Structure 1
Amino acid sequence: MFTIHETMGIGIIGPASVCDMRLNLMQLATIMAAAFLGIICSSYFWGYITDKMGRRWILLRTISICNICALLSMFMVSFTSFFVMRFLTGIFVAGPSFVAVTYLSEFCNKQILARVVTHMYMFTGFAMFYCPLVASFFFTSFMDFEVDVLEMLTLRSWRFLGCTFMVPGAIAFFLLLGMPESPKFLFMIGDTQGGMAVMEWVSMKNTGHPLSPDQVAELNKFQAATEVKRQRNSVNILQTMLSDAMPLFRKPFVGFYVGSCAVMFTLGLLANGLGIWYAAMRNRINMRLGSKEDMTFCNILFTPFRDILQESEDDLVVMCNDGFKGFNDSLILGFTYILLYNVCWLLLFLVPRKAMFIVALVMSSTCGFALIFVTNYWVQLFSFIFFIALPGVLISLLGGALLEYVPTYVRAKALCISLMWCRWGAVVGAIMVGAYVDTNCEITLLTIAILPLLSASIEGFLPL
């Protein structure tokens, strides 16, 4: 939830900050992509450190520093400072964005791993629901205030809204204080005593009984099989980081891994790159005056409204409008995410994972094509929702498949690199939509709608 708040929550905060920051559309797109850029720049570093220092070790430090950066970002007064702080927030939110699922996966066996990971990612839906729900309170007339603190700093409701997005991160930090390190990681680095202590803790939590002698013997065998002998580090840390990732790009992993990264790029572009504009676009549609009947999605967004009374004065100063009326649509998106994650969780018991991937991607592409032509309000709304929500759910399914496919000693690096490509897709999508959708709306949507079909063709060759 914390990760989604700090990356996707800017979809609400960004448009609300336009007046204070005096942002144009391209600057707004850059602000929305800033956290994703930070994640891209730091993901592999955190993956490398996570496989060296531990999962819990990284989570505690990145969550705490990310909270500080996110808090400071809400009190910036210019585009440059706002961008820098959101970029730094992204650098540190990169840790929990992939380490949390790596950490959780190492307390599970392969039989339940996919379902557990899908269940954890369901809280993405709760985050997508939480953001607009809290925002609907902060953007009411009751919370419409301005307090001048410094010459350039004016406190308004959107700044305090951004502070509330840190609540899940603070809760997660304190919950982690009572959790142990990953037992698989401890066995991997040869800390047999530490690994046994954690497994004793797990056994007591699950059964109320300590480990039996047979279980201890099995764990000793597991430790001997999984321990990774530490090699002397190279003087060049970049060379060490590169060599540590090389197993992913050799047989038997290379084909599956490269294909997964390509699919992750598309999923990120749709779910996060286009998805981050969802709140702003729905808000613009809901705030449009006049009749919207028989108008397509793009026409409603960008066809100028012609009022009966035209202003004749040349020096008319148009007031900046940062109002928001898109919260109900955002709540529907969050609820849809929760529903889809639960549906996928149930389907994992019944149907092959590959079939779920291909059907979901074809459905997403179909909704994207429909969004260009349909004129009914509700059909437009749900076409947009399923266009971005189905790829969002598939990110968790593909991540779960990846965790099953690669061994523990490269698991964090494998997941962080694949999610790095997912964030690249988010950056490309966010900037592409911000740069081109107002002038070439239909062509932009058509281009994006083709991508799920290409990903579905790649998925057909992956051993899911």
Structure 2
Amino acid sequence: MDNFNQVIDQIGFGSMHLYATITLGLLQMLTIHETMGMGIIGPASVCDLRINQVQLASLTAAGFLGIISSSYFWGYITDKKGRRWTLLRTITVSNVCSIVSMFMVNFSGFFVMRFITGIFVAAPSFVAATYLSEFCSQRILARTLTHMYMFTGFAMLYCPAWAALFLSTKFMEFEVEVAGSLSLRPWRILGCLNILPGVIAFFLLLSLPESPKFLFNIGDTDKGLAAMERICHKNTGKPLSAEQIQSLRIYQSVASARFKRKKSEYNFLRSMIDDAMPLFRKPFLGLFMAACLVMFILGMMANGLGLWYTAMRNRYNMRQGNIKGMSFCRVLFFPEMRPLMETEKDFEPVCNDAFKGFNDSFILGVVYIILYNICWLSLFCVPRKVMFVVSMLISSLCGFLLIFVKDRWVQLFSLVFFLAIPGAVVSLLGGALCLFVPTHLRGKALCISLMWCRCGAALGSILTGSGFHNNCEISLIAIAVLPLIAVGTEGYLPM
């Protein structure tokens, strides 16, 4: 089974890997835009759609709920039909649904369309990593996936950059009546721009071959060899040698004999369940369950609470009175009418699609990019488990600091690292799963683990949006404890 890795290692990292990393990194951006981007789009749509705080929390979680409901289906399909086959179709539908959602005129329609968008954006959210992993040898896999996930940081810059133009500048204030109660506002245009990386990725994907490892596993030797030939020619300028072709044929014969899919005599749903059962038996059970638990925690922190980052910083920046000596929670949520506190006039109520500055959002994006590069460099010399434990301890410390510190900049960077570190750790765990799980289970393993990550994101988003303002300190303490729980499972993780 090492023949494939030996050949792909001999080919080395080259232009084909770089092209695939950029293409699939753009798909990672699309996933972030369609989920985390609602942290900007949602609050900006409040007045047009006449929604309350609970509805806003539900709306921001709609994409995650769509991803959760469809993840395993796409994991099953991608292991049956192929990585590229699945991506091309789901990207197309998700982009169309995303545009349609931006022209909804009420909460119900907007929620439904965001949910449907989430259903189809679920596939790129995990298939991209699965696809890229099968172009790489084990030696470069973790580092290559880290670079792909680094596009999360670019997404964190892309969203506020466009939002700064459409929501923070007076010359972009417009309202064009289209039909009935539908009016064209800046937030609708902003939402349409979020699909741009997905559109570019679609056309780039047309030039990529199907995963050669997948093709060999399903017994399609000719297409598998053709895909490897393209990779070799792009990277080295030379064709595969006779020895390499022989090694690949040996790999294909062993892989297809071991993982050959027999036609099922029972129904589709039973087949989906049975295909995933090996993940819940030895030797995968303990490690896989631990990975799912940690993914849930990381999702709740990085995406659930992180989805409200822009809205929180916007609210923080709109406080006009003296906030010196006030904790983070007091600035955001302390009742304004109590004695010695600021009056209602000192806090700007918002019922429009304006935001006061996106500098804090740019800081989050830059920190993400820096953290991914630190992870990439550390992978050369530091064990993944050590990186994981240290990262989680730092994140937990930042969460506890956020409760007590009074300095504005310490509060900002405590929040940034509290959110960004768990987001960067997702790439470490995803890369470990790709090494730990064989090809025929890889798509399902990643989709199930990331499904738990989205469950944590959806739960965290709803809890933050609907109840954080009533119990801010207690909520922060509860979330700051979560990384310590993740550290407790370290011995069971496939790292």
TM-score by length of 2: 0.91
Q: Choose from 115, 118, 121 the match for 2:146.
A: 118
2:319 paired with 1:288: yes
In structure 2, relative to structure 1, the CA distance for the partners of 1:225 and 1:381 (3 Å cut) is same
Q: How many residues align?
A: 458
Q: Choose from 387, 403, 406 the match for 1:356.
A: 387
Tell me by how many angstroms 1:326 deviates. Answer: 4.1
Q: Choose from 88, 109, 115 the match for 1:81.
A: 109
- Write the distance in 2 (CA, Å) between the matches of 1:203 and 1:328: 44
The match for 1:130 is 158
Does the 8 Å CA contact 2:72/2:448 hold for their aligned counterparts?
Answer: yes
In structure 2, the residue corresponding to 1:4 is in which secondary structure?
helix
Matches within 5 A, 1:251-262: 251-262=282-293
Tell me by how many angstroms 1:323 deviates. Answer: 2.2
Tell me by how many angstroms 1:22 deviates. Answer: 1.1
Does the 8 Å CA contact 1:290/1:305 hold for their aligned counterparts?
Answer: no
The match for 1:380 is 411
In structure 2, the residue corresponding to 1:95 is in which secondary structure?
helix
- Write the distance in 2 (CA, Å) between the matches of 1:117 and 1:310: 48
Does the 8 Å CA contact 2:436/2:494 hold for their aligned counterparts?
Answer: no
Amino acid at match of 2:248: L
Q: Choose from 177, 189, 209 the match for 1:148.
A: 177
2:133 paired with 1:102: no
Q: Choose from 326, 331, 335 the match for 1:300.
A: 331
In structure 1, the residue corresponding to 2:263 is in which secondary structure?
coil
In structure 2, relative to structure 1, the CA distance for the partners of 1:80 and 1:369 (3 Å cut) is same
Q: Choose from 76, 83, 99 the match for 1:55.
A: 83
2:461 paired with 1:433: no
The match for 2:191 is 162
Does the 8 Å CA contact 1:50/1:412 hold for their aligned counterparts?
Answer: yes
In structure 2, relative to structure 1, the CA distance for the partners of 1:359 and 1:258 (3 Å cut) is same
Tell me by how many angstroms 1:459 deviates. Answer: 1.4
Does the 8 Å CA contact 1:289/1:305 hold for their aligned counterparts?
Answer: no
Matches within 5 A, 1:191-202: 191-202=220-231
Amino acid at match of 1:112: I
The match for 2:238 is 209
Amino acid at match of 1:205: K
- Write the distance in 2 (CA, Å) between the matches of 1:256 and 1:460: 9
How many percent of aligned residue pairs carry the same amino acid? 63
Does the 8 Å CA contact 2:336/2:344 hold for their aligned counterparts?
Answer: no
- Write the distance in 2 (CA, Å) between the matches of 1:108 and 1:320: 50
Tell me by how many angstroms 1:350 deviates. Answer: 1.1
In structure 1, the residue corresponding to 2:97 is in which secondary structure?
helix
Measured against aligned partners, the alpha-carbon deviations of 1:270-324 in whole angstroms (never above 9, x if no partner) come to 000000000000000001121110111110001244598889xxxxxx8724420
2:119 paired with 1:91: yes
Measured against aligned partners, the alpha-carbon deviations of 1:112-131 in whole angstroms (never above 9, x if no partner) come to 10000001100000001110
Q: Choose from 223, 230, 234 the match for 2:261.
A: 230
Matches within 5 A, 1:332-343: 332-343=363-374
Tell me by how many angstroms 1:440 deviates. Answer: 0.7
Tell me by how many angstroms 1:435 deviates. Answer: 1.9
- Write the distance in 1 (CA, Å) between the matches of 2:494 and 2:356: 44
In structure 2, relative to structure 1, the CA distance for the partners of 1:310 and 1:87 (3 Å cut) is closer
In structure 2, the residue corresponding to 1:178 is in which secondary structure?
coil
Does the 8 Å CA contact 1:16/1:323 hold for their aligned counterparts?
Answer: yes
In structure 2, relative to structure 1, the CA distance for the partners of 1:268 and 1:225 (3 Å cut) is same
Amino acid at match of 2:450: L
- Write the distance in 2 (CA, Å) between the matches of 1:234 and 1:387: 50
Tell me by how many angstroms 1:207 deviates. Answer: 1.1
The match for 1:315 is none
2:38 paired with 1:7: no
- Write the distance in 1 (CA, Å) between the matches of 2:314 and 2:188: 19
Tell me by how many angstroms 1:209 deviates. Answer: 1.1
The match for 2:13 is none
The match for 1:314 is none
Does the 8 Å CA contact 1:4/1:124 hold for their aligned counterparts?
Answer: yes
In structure 2, relative to structure 1, the CA distance for the partners of 1:133 and 1:319 (3 Å cut) is closer
Does the 8 Å CA contact 1:187/1:226 hold for their aligned counterparts?
Answer: yes
Greater shift after overlay, 99-108 or 319-328? 319-328
Amino acid at match of 1:221: I
- Write the distance in 2 (CA, Å) between the matches of 1:185 and 1:95: 16
- Write the distance in 1 (CA, Å) between the matches of 2:30 and 2:118: 12
The match for 2:247 is 218
Q: Choose from 45, 64, 74 the match for 1:17.
A: 45
Measured against aligned partners, the alpha-carbon deviations of 1:157-181 in whole angstroms (never above 9, x if no partner) come to 0100011111000000000111110
- Write the distance in 1 (CA, Å) between the matches of 2:342 and 2:452: 49
In structure 2, the residue corresponding to 1:149 is in which secondary structure?
strand
- Write the distance in 2 (CA, Å) between the matches of 1:205 and 1:320: 54
In structure 2, relative to structure 1, the CA distance for the partners of 1:399 and 1:217 (3 Å cut) is same
Measured against aligned partners, the alpha-carbon deviations of 1:203-254 in whole angstroms (never above 9, x if no partner) come to 1111111111111110011101211212122432111001000111111111
Does the 8 Å CA contact 2:433/2:494 hold for their aligned counterparts?
Answer: no
Runs of 4+ in 1 over 3 A off after TM superposition: 304-311
- Write the distance in 2 (CA, Å) between the matches of 1:358 and 1:447: 19
In structure 2, relative to structure 1, the CA distance for the partners of 1:319 and 1:406 (3 Å cut) is closer
Does the 8 Å CA contact 1:279/1:326 hold for their aligned counterparts?
Answer: no
- Write the distance in 1 (CA, Å) between the matches of 2:31 and 2:343: 47
- Write the distance in 2 (CA, Å) between the matches of 1:64 and 1:173: 8
Amino acid at match of 1:327: F
- Write the distance in 2 (CA, Å) between the matches of 1:309 and 1:120: 47
- Write the distance in 2 (CA, Å) between the matches of 1:342 and 1:320: 39
The match for 1:325 is 356
TM-score by length of 1: 0.97
Tell me by how many angstroms 1:392 deviates. Answer: 0.2
Tell me by how many angstroms 1:268 deviates. Answer: 0.2
In structure 2, the residue corresponding to 1:77 is in which secondary structure?
coil
Unaligned runs of 5+ residues in structure 2 are: 1-28
Q: Choose from 187, 193, 212 the match for 1:183.
A: 212
The match for 2:19 is none
Does the 8 Å CA contact 2:336/2:343 hold for their aligned counterparts?
Answer: no
Does the 8 Å CA contact 1:256/1:462 hold for their aligned counterparts?
Answer: yes
In structure 2, relative to structure 1, the CA distance for the partners of 1:310 and 1:21 (3 Å cut) is closer
Does the 8 Å CA contact 2:35/2:63 hold for their aligned counterparts?
Answer: yes
Does the 8 Å CA contact 1:47/1:416 hold for their aligned counterparts?
Answer: yes
Does the 8 Å CA contact 2:164/2:357 hold for their aligned counterparts?
Answer: no
Unaligned runs of 5+ residues in structure 1 are: 312-317
Does the 8 Å CA contact 1:280/1:326 hold for their aligned counterparts?
Answer: no
